[in-house]
A and B are shown apart, each in its own frame.
Chain A
Amino acid sequence: DQQVKQNSPSLSVQEGRISILNCDYTNSMFDYFLWYKKYPAEGPTFLISISSIKDKNEDGRFTVFLNKSAKHLSLHIVPSQPGDSAVYFCAASDNDYKLSFGAGTTVTVRA
């Protein structure tokens, strides 16, 4: 049973515009959420995270928003750049060291 869901398998955005990636979860015990970025033929790399006690975390061009009541989080990339073209995974943990991953969203940034 998929506890973390990314319902949009792909997203295409023009360079300079905002990319918004969405993620929903079902396990109310999750208390830490992360976004990973993955290029082809490479392992995932950490991008940004947020604790359940916060509703927003910002790091440069990347901002993650958490809506606990809706069990929803989103990743905003502003402005989008060609190097942002990759697969983005949403992940969550429940006070443990194991992560549950979504299926990923492939972002393509058009010049």
Chain B
Amino acid sequence: NAGVTQTPKFRILKIGQSMTLQCAQDMNHNYMYWYRQDPGMGLKLIYYSVGAGITDKGEVPNGYNVSRSTTEDFPLRLELAAPSQTSVYFCASSYSRHSGNTIYFGEGSWLTVV
């Protein structure tokens, strides 16, 4: 089982550039999430989705956009990249709500904005 797959694993962006972090899950999960982790900090929720066509903001959504056209995919779009977006990004998915023990994380995407 592939689980949650994120691409790319590493990326360097210049200030003002745009890019999309891809996330796909093959577990038929309804819920998908994007978190970022800054050094010395916990994971912070950027956006989440409870099903295809439905997305909502998390704690730190500014500078990002998401879409959920299929159950499997949940891409995260960075528009006009800024140094403050240098971080490690984790995509995750779960089958149902209030199931923190069954939230599966991808391996992470390391993004540096210079």
Residues of A within 8 A of B (CB): 2, 4, 6, 9, 32, 34, 41-46, 49, 89, 91, 93, 95-104
> A96 contacts B97, CB within 8 Å?
yes
Instruction: Please judge, given known A-B contacts A97-B31, A98-B45, A101-B44, whether A43 and B90 are in contact too, CB under 8 Å.
Output: yes
B33-59 CB contact bits vs A (8 Å, 1 = yes)? 101000011111100101000000010
* 13 A/B residue pairs, CB under 8 Å, sorted by A: A6-B42, A9-B40, A34-B100, A41-B108, A42-B108, A43-B107, A89-B42, A91-B42, A97-B94, A99-B43, A99-B45, A101-B35, A101-B43
Q: Which residues of A contact B42 (CB under 8 A)?
A: 2, 4, 6, 89, 91, 100-104
> B100 contacts A44, CB within 8 Å?
no
Residues of B within 8 A of A (CB): 4, 31, 33, 35, 40-45, 48, 50, 58, 90, 92, 94, 96-108
Instruction: Please judge, given known A-B contacts A98-B45, A98-B48, A98-B58, whether A43 and B31 are in contact too, CB under 8 Å.
Output: no
Q: Which residues of B contact A95 (CB under 8 A)?
A: 98
